[in-house]
Amino acid sequence: MGLIIMLIVGGLIGWLAGAILGKDIPGGILGNIIAGIIGAWLGSAIFGHWGPSFGGISIFPALIGTIILVAIVSFIFGAMRKRK
């Protein structure tokens, strides 16, 4: 049950980060889940574990980490498109 909650929270965080930045995350729902989970790991590694936590994911560091991840990935993909 904990894994399902973690996937749902990761997906919501990925979606929210994409909405805040106005960027679409490639891969749809699966992309949102992956970005949310990787962003949660990144945010927790940089900012620690603080604020509310759902499914083992601290919401605020996860959201900040996911925003950073989406911004970096968008920048890289944008640079690759301009190069072609």
Q: For the whole model, what pTM was predicted?
A: 0.85
Which residue would you say has higher pLDDT here, 80 or 71? 71
**CA–CA separation, 61 and 50 (whole Å):** 7
pLDDT digits (tens, 9 = 90+) for 44-75: 999 988 888 888 888 999 999 999 998 988 88
Nearest alpha-carbon partner for 48 in 64, 28, 32: 64
CA pair distance 3, 9, nearest whole angstrom: 10
Return the structure tokens found at 55: 């499914």
Q: Residue 43: pLDDT band by 50, 70, 90 thresholds?
A: very high
Q: Encoding tokens for residue 28?
A: 């749809």
Instruction: Indicate if the pLDDT at residue 3 is higher than 90.
Output: no
